[in-house]
Structure 1
Amino acid sequence: MTSTNSSGPAPGGTRIGYTMMTEQAGPKDLVAHVVHAEEAGYDFSVTSDHYFPWLAEQGHAPYAWSVLGAAAQATSRIPLMTYVTCPTTRYHPAVIAQKAATMQLLSDGRFRLGLGSGENLNEHVVGGGWPNAGVRLEMFEEAVEIIRGLFGGGYLDHHGTHYDVESAKLWDLPDTLPPIGVAVSGPRSCAIAGRLADLVIATEPKAELLDAFDREGGAGKPRVGQLPVCFDRDREAAVRRAHEQFRWSQGGWPVNANLPNPAAFDAATQSVRPEDMAEAVPCGDDPEAFVEAVRPYVEAGFTEVALVQIGGDTQHAFLDWSEKTLLPALRGAFG
């Protein structure tokens, strides 16, 4: 079995992706959105995997893996990817390996398995508590090793610090394995990614994370970033929507990883103002503002950038605008 990147960077250019954000749309709508994204010409897609929305105003949290299976059948070209799944608490890593192998078969080789160490928001629901960051990374590293072991074929027995696997085997294993991506936020996660990942994932345009990934063995591998945007013909409406639904993003990762529910995110972001969101997120319909928001990712060394359009009921308008205006502007700027 081999593991390859089925959606690596286009020669000389930055790949632009679309995000199926499960926190802001129901399952049928999400599938319709990614079908439209494929038609609009996006290079790849990613999917969040949540049990809760960040804020109650977002209003959704369907099961991402069912959505992905449906999307695999409804599309034919666009690559699919979890961004990201936590393989430590809510899901056992042996089950993640089975799900990823099945998705790769259903999508005819278009799937990538993006993994991260998770958030209390989603993982607390199984009642196992929320360990500290050091323990979470220990669990995460062991989980990725189990997934890698099962991808290797044959039976796996594993008795580690955090997980036991007894005589597990993937009976439906694709010839081309789904590439594994690891989300990074600091030196320890970069080391795990460099050793175990086929690509690296980050949500901030920090070149130092990519440099650390390279030093740990990631040189030459794809690096995928993500950027929230808020298209609307009425810029003030876009700013209001960004504030209503995405102010949680201003909390920073150490905070966001530990808050337990949407009410906690609401309380923690009471001081975030609409004007703060207008500075943090490109809002409106000026394509140059969106190009300039993508630029830091390109300059930091990201080979792929997935856009998140804020607002579940605005996706089709955004995708129409993407096809006619935004994607040509981005490709004109970044190849």
Structure 2
Amino acid sequence: MTTYGYFLSCEEFTPAELLDQARSAEQAGFEALAISDHFHPWNDEQGQSPFVWSMIGALSQVTSLPVTTLVTCPTVRMHPAINAQAAATASVLTGGRFRFGLGSGEALNEHVVGGAWPEAAERMELLDEAVQVIRRLLTGERVTHRGPHFTVQNARLYTVPDEPPPLHISGFGPQAAALAARIGDGFVTMAPDAALVEQFRKAGGGAKPVLGGLKVCWDADRDRAVRTVHRLWPNEALPGELAQILPTPEHFEQASSLVTEDMIADSVVCGDDVDAHVDAVGAYARAGFDEVYVNQIGPGQTEFFDAYRAEVLPRLRDAV
């Protein structure tokens, strides 16, 4: 049975707003939370970017829902050893309800420490080695590691959970799906792509969970919803690898100037048509996803949670 969760967007909302959304999500009947891990927002209009590990600590005190990072890059901005410590503490604080989503990252967030941004193949190598380091450290053993990309010397985590959190690996193509199948405890991919899910399972993923997510804009005025998404999240309509290689919010704003409101209307569910919301979210279940996380764009949070509590979530569960 598919788990339906709420996606907390650190790019758009303040820490206090994110905590309010987490409470509202639990009250509305969502079963889990996901949270983004960014240094920058995608554009200045979004306007926020709190530190995800501080947010998870705060979330552990206001909700009983599981929390997953979607996703953290553990290779450039922060060393894998420090990511391992953060994940271990998050798991302890949440009583074992933390899941660590990991990916190869975006230049937008990782270039800030001054290094060159690697090509995709090297980013996957970095992720592979980082996962090895993180897994060893999460056991609480003393670790010394000298690899092609990372060095760890006499490191030991003293605060560790009873069981290490699962490591879910993000990817958007066949090679990344195969890597996730080999090194991950689950697979994260954002489009409801049944073929990619099948590739993951055939590559060794088996029955491991597949996680995905989407953005919507609930609003009684559909045209206003389209304008809201176009103002805040035009990057949702950018193609290809731009999300991985553009280095600053200004570059995303430049690229997003090519995105029209019609493109947004065709790619993001906008408005208050319950059938449209049920169909868009349900597409993930039909594609074989085990967990799907929904994010409400813009200010209509109360209306979104009321509608999903009363109409959307019950219909999604009845469709099983």
Work out whether the TM-score is over 0.5.
yes
Q: Distance in 2 between matches of 1:165 and 1:191?
A: 27
Q: Cα distance, 1:314 vs. partner?
A: 2.3
Are residues 1:161 and 2:148 paired?
Answer: yes
Instruction: Give the residue type in structure 2 aligned to 1:327.
Output: L
Q: Distance in 2 between matches of 1:249 and 1:299?
A: 22
Q: Tell me, yes or no, if the aligned pair for 1:101 and 1:174 is still in contact at 8 Å.
A: yes
Q: Cα distance, 1:253 vs. partner?
A: 4.3
Q: Tell me, yes or no, if the aligned pair for 2:139 and 2:160 is still in contact at 8 Å.
A: no
Paired residues for 1:162-177 under 5 Å? 162-177=149-164
Q: Cα distance, 1:286 vs. partner?
A: 1.2
Partner of 1:54: 42
Normalized against structure 2, the TM-score is what? 0.97
Partner of 2:200: 213
Q: Distance in 2 between matches of 1:176 and 1:156?
A: 18
Of the candidates 89, 92, 109, which is equivalent to residue 122 of structure 1?
A: 109
Instruction: Give the residue type in structure 1 aligned to 2:124.
Output: L
Q: Tell me, yes or no, if the aligned pair for 1:184 and 1:202 is still in contact at 8 Å.
A: yes
Percent same amino acid among aligned pairs? Answer: 44
Q: Tell me, yes or no, if the aligned pair for 1:194 and 1:218 is still in contact at 8 Å.
A: yes
Q: Distance in 2 between matches of 1:196 and 1:151?
A: 15
Q: Distance in 2 between matches of 1:233 and 1:325?
A: 15
Partner of 2:189: 202
Of the candidates 245, 258, 278, which is equivalent to residue 232 of structure 2?
A: 245
* Structure with higher RCO (Cα < 8 A, 6+ apart): 1
User: Deviations for 1:133-181, whole angstroms, at most 9, x for unmatched residues?
Assistant: 1111111111011111112331111100100000111111111221110
Paired residues for 1:1-335 under 5 Å? 13-76=1-64, 78-311=65-298, 313-333=299-319, 335=320
User: Residues 309 and 129 (structure 1 numbering): CA distance in 2 closer, same or farther, change over 3 Å?
Assistant: same
SS in 1 for 2:241: helix
Instruction: Give the residue type in structure 1 aligned to 2:32.
Output: F
Normalized against structure 1, the TM-score is what? 0.93
Q: Distance in 2 between matches of 1:296 and 1:161?
A: 41
Q: Distance in 1 between matches of 2:169 and 2:127?
A: 10
Instruction: Give the residue type in structure 1 aligned to 2:60.
Output: A
Q: Tell me, yes or no, if the aligned pair for 1:184 and 1:209 is still in contact at 8 Å.
A: no
What stretches of structure 1 move > 4 A for 4+ residues in a row?
Answer: none
Q: Cα distance, 1:191 vs. partner?
A: 2.2
Q: Tell me, yes or no, if the aligned pair for 1:227 and 1:294 is still in contact at 8 Å.
A: yes
Q: Distance in 2 between matches of 1:272 and 1:203?
A: 20
Q: CA RMSD in A?
A: 1.2
SS in 2 for 1:117: coil
The number of residue pairs the alignment matches comes to: 320
